[in-house]
Chains A and B, each alone.
Chain A
Amino acid sequence: MAKRVGIEVSLAVSHAVQLARAEAIAAYPITPQTHIVEHLSSLVANGDLEAEFINVESEHSAISACIGTSAAGARTYTATSSQGLALMHEILFIASAMRFPIVMTVANRALSGPLSIWNDHSDIMAARDIGWIQVFVQNGQEAFDHSIMAFKIAEHRRVLLPMIVNLDGFILSHVVEALEFADQDTVDRFLPPYSPWHQLDPKKPVTMGAFGMPEVFAEFKMKHQVTLMNSYDQIMKVWQEWGQLTGRAYHPVEHYKTDGAKILLLTMGCLSEVAEIAVDELRAAGQPVGLLKLRLWRPFPFAALREAVYGAELVIVCDRALSVGGAGGPVLSEVRSVLYPVVPHPKVLGYVIGLGGRDVPPEAFKEIFFQAQAEAEQEPSEEFYMYGVRG
């Protein structure tokens, strides 16, 4: 039976990984991911999770060892943040190209410099094109649910891609929330034991990681692209199945009070809950505003986003990362280019907010709303806006 517990979100993620019966974990400590792997270590140490925990000497080795455990045929998990994700960078592309269904939690944190342990999305946005499935969660329950569902999605025969569950460092990873735990029976029924499709086995020897000459390289990339896009259907199926089991339904683009909204805020991760408060208050004051929460980042939910903005006049994208010298935040760039071919399309303005742990209260979203509304009436004064930054 499902039970409600009050628990730190990091620990909830560890228990989700335990319930998913991960068999191999290789991880290296980095704030704010540490509580997840510390707790997993103790679950393994106490025999509560039958798994190998590899205390690697770096994140580069963490993800490399994960490729090893996955190639051996074990269900594999890791977690990291920020500099750790950046150190893995080279290997992240290889993990997905080699189709290893590794599941990773990224407790999102700013990339140095200056050094900051606090939350934003610059770590994952720098790893946007690694060819993994990527989702964002906004609260502890979602973090728990998606950590279990990720294994089922990643390991599906028609997917076989690694998957990242993004959860905001500290402001989500370190808070205690009340959430509903699934019991082991339910998870076991939902997620059967991992049986690898490709594996290094002396009885059936194969060569993995051969290099690609120009005659084949692009075909490999094409296959990767098609597979990642096609994983969408499987993601939807798994989310639906989980919804039927638990009553908690998830969608690639979540809507909040979007009925009749002419202006839409668009957020990712746990600031969405703050934005909801702003939307409540603006709605109460008669403003035609709603909120879109982008949950699925890769594969990008093209159709779902286009449908979600139908009828809106203005979309205000709130990015938690900055493409320095570029077109604002990565989410802004993508949303703009996805909506551009739609005729007529809403105006799309972008705000970069909450970098390096800068607090974003509901008032900030309200202020952004009014400012963007005014900007949209005229030629926008800037390519994008850095909200609440001095100097």
Chain B
Amino acid sequence: MDKFDVASSQKYDVYASRLLPKEEYFVGGHRSCQGCGEALAVRWVCKAIGKDAVIAHATGCMEIVSSGFPQTAWVQPWIHVAFENTAAVASGLEAGYKILARKGKLPGRPPKVVAMAGDGGTSDIGLQALSGAMERGHDFTYICWDNEAYMNTGIQRSSSTPYGAMTTTSPPGKRSIGQATWKKNMVAIAVAHGIPYVATACPSYLFDLYFKVKRAVETPGPAYIHILSVCPTGWRSATDLTVRLGRLAVETGVFPLYEVVDGRYHLTIDIPKLRPVKDYLKLQGRFRHLREPEIDFIQRQVLAHYDLLLKKCEAPYPEFPPLSQTEEGE
């Protein structure tokens, strides 16, 4: 299954669950909320990266729910240091294994290094460390759990919070419609670093997510995956709608699923006819205060962004020139 092939993975949908690993790497007993989309994503990402991996995790919901001493939900070796430095810790891990391997102190293949952080830990406070790590070209995979706010500290806005959403620091009011800015495009920022593999994913599309993560960890050099993770607590949505909401985010074009391989965009889940964003918004209490004009605005913006994405997918040239093959003494 090393060759990634979305079309055939789609066909598997009916029976392929038997092809996916049964081993659990993010085990039950952790304390995430009911219906947590982030925990679902973690579980499947950990299956995809497999046992020969080492994880550096940022402070945030997934760290807090899983690692209260003396318990742990993590089967893979795992380290948490702080909120904003996960990419730097991962850089160190990768460099550390590299030198040990070079000195013959590490039998076998060095473990795959995977960094994980929330949207706040990625697109806000951790952006500098992430940029540095991508620019330096470490061989690692960075996964962003995007639940569109600082959930661990009580649903404060981040730069990844969508326009119009209510959070505790972007409350709607007489002079506020909620979050006043458009969601930061972290994927484009990652692509701008000229790294070989970037993708979006969502655990509502399990196979798509699974194969993207597999591909990311197999890709030499930095890889970045941005995972939309529905958070019923922060989104004010019903806990049994988590998977549904992820689907709707994709079907409305709010969160398209695509890959950027060596600078070339392509959709992995093609939605020929997008649903109206209202279908997605109306199931979430965080958008409850929005009225028609704001919803219309969001609809227009979503379509405009989607359109631009399609253009990027059709572009005859990549976002950056391919790295010309040099003799790498590795």
Chain A residues engaging chain B, CB cutoff 8 angstroms: 23-24, 26, 50-52, 54-58, 60-62, 64-74, 76, 90-91, 94, 98, 193, 200-202, 204-213, 216
Contacts and interface: CB of A to CB of B under 8 A. Distances in A.
Interface string B210-249: 0000000000000000000000000000000000000000
B132 to A, nearest CB: 3
Interface string B89-101: 1111111111110
Given A56-B132, A202-B54, A211-B67, A65 B77 contact: no
Contact of B85 (A24, A60, A74, A208): A60
A62 B77 CA distance: 22
Contact of B96 (A73, A210, A213): A73
12 contacts: A56-B136, A60-B129, A61-B87, A61-B129, A67-B92, A68-B89, A69-B99, A74-B100, A91-B85, A205-B76, A206-B78, A211-B67
Given A208-B80, A209-B80, A64 B89 contact: yes
B128 interface: yes
A69 B93 contact: yes
Contacts of B62: none
Given A68-B56, A68-B96, A73-B100, A201 B77 contact: yes
B273 interface: no
Contacts of A62: 88
B72 A64 contact: no
A49 to B, nearest CB: 11
A65 B103 contact: no
B91 to A, nearest CB: 5
Nearest to A193: B105
Given A50-B103, A54-B92, A55-B136, A90 B54 contact: no
A201 B78 CA distance: 9
Given A67-B79, A205-B77, 15 more contacts: A26-B92, A26-B95, A61-B129, A64-B89, A65-B92, A68-B88, A69-B95, A70-B92, A71-B93, A91-B81, A98-B81, A201-B77, A210-B68, A210-B72, A211-B64
Contacts of B111: 200-202
A24 B99 contact: yes
B75 interface: yes
B23 interface: no
A23 B135 CA distance: 22
A205 to B, nearest CB: 4
Contacts of A204: 77
Interface residues of B, number: 49
A61 B91 contact: yes
Counting chain A CB atoms within 10 Å of each CB, which of B53, B76, B85, B131 scores highest? B85
- 6 shortest A-B CB distances, which residue pairs? A68-B92, A72-B96, A57-B132, A65-B92, A209-B80, A61-B88
A200 B79 contact: yes
B82 interface: yes
B99 A23 contact: yes
A90 B75 CA distance: 28
A184 B272 CA distance: 68
A178 to B, nearest CB: 33
A73 B107 CA distance: 13
Contacts of B91: 26, 54, 56, 61, 65, 68
A91 B132 contact: no
Contacts of B131: 57
A206 B67 CA distance: 11
Given A202-B111, A213-B68, A72 B97 contact: yes
B284 to A, nearest CB: 30
Nearest to B78: A207
B266 to A, nearest CB: 31
B98 to A, nearest CB: 6
B22 interface: no
A23 B67 contact: no
A61 B85 contact: yes
B53 A209 contact: no
A50 B68 CA distance: 38
A68 B95 contact: yes
Contacts of A205: 74-78
B262 to A, nearest CB: 24
B70 interface: yes
A71 B76 CA distance: 14
A208 B90 contact: no
Nearest to B55: A200
B93 A90 contact: no
B102 interface: yes
Contacts of B15: none
Given A56-B88, A202-B53, A211-B68, A64 B82 contact: yes
B228 to A, nearest CB: 26
A209 B96 contact: no
A55 B88 CA distance: 11
A247 to B, nearest CB: 32
A57 B131 CA distance: 9
Contacts of B72: 207, 210
B128 to A, nearest CB: 6
Contact of B89 (A67, A193, A206, A213): A67
